Chain A
């Protein structure tokens, strides 16, 4: 059972480039989310999805797009990378949107924007 898998693990981009961070889970979880973690800080919610075809914005959505065409996958797109988006990105999932269930996190994608 792989859990939550994120790819790539590391990426360096130039300002203005676009890319997609991949996230997949094999637990049939309905709820998936993306966070970013900046040095010395906690995680901030970017976007989330409560099921296939349904997404919504979190606390810091600007500069990012998401889609949820399948239950398993929840990619995060950077449209035009900026140095302020240098961060570690974590994807998480849980069974449903209910708050009495734990979130399962991937091991992150470390992204540097030059």
Chain B
């Protein structure tokens, strides 16, 4: 299984860009990288997913280098409402049926 490692917590201020990096050194060829966001008392919510290079949607960007051993979630101009836990997952054939969300990164956005 591809284990992921991400910072336990990060602090930022409103209007700044936030980059959260996730390491997944033993990612397999058919694995995808997926990021979820979770607010207190709610279920996780899908943010973005990618396989390689760069993916962008209306919420975030995901940067994946050529070796795919890490990925970076980029949140442009964060606001207080972006305070949440962010989970990086590696999903694919090797994790099938055994998918586990790690501890995630607690992002706190300050005024």
Report which B residues bind A (CB closer than 8 A): 30-32, 34, 36, 41-46, 49, 51, 87, 91-92, 96-104
Residue of A nearest to B104 (CB): A42
Complexed CA–CA distance, A102 and B30 (Å): 16
A56 and B97 form a contact (CB under 8 A) = yes
Complexed CA–CA distance, A104 and B43 (Å): 8
B43 and A92 form a contact (CB under 8 A) = yes
Report which A residues bind B (CB closer than 8 A): 4, 33, 35, 37, 40-45, 48, 56-59, 90, 92, 97, 99-100, 102-108
A59 and B42 form a contact (CB under 8 A) = no
Residue of A nearest to B4 (CB): A42
Complexed CA–CA distance, A6 and B76 (Å): 33
Which 3 A-B residue pairings sit nearest by Cβ, starting from the closest? A105-B43, A102-B46, A42-B101
Contact partner, A108, options B42, B99, B103, B104, Cβ 8 Å:
B42
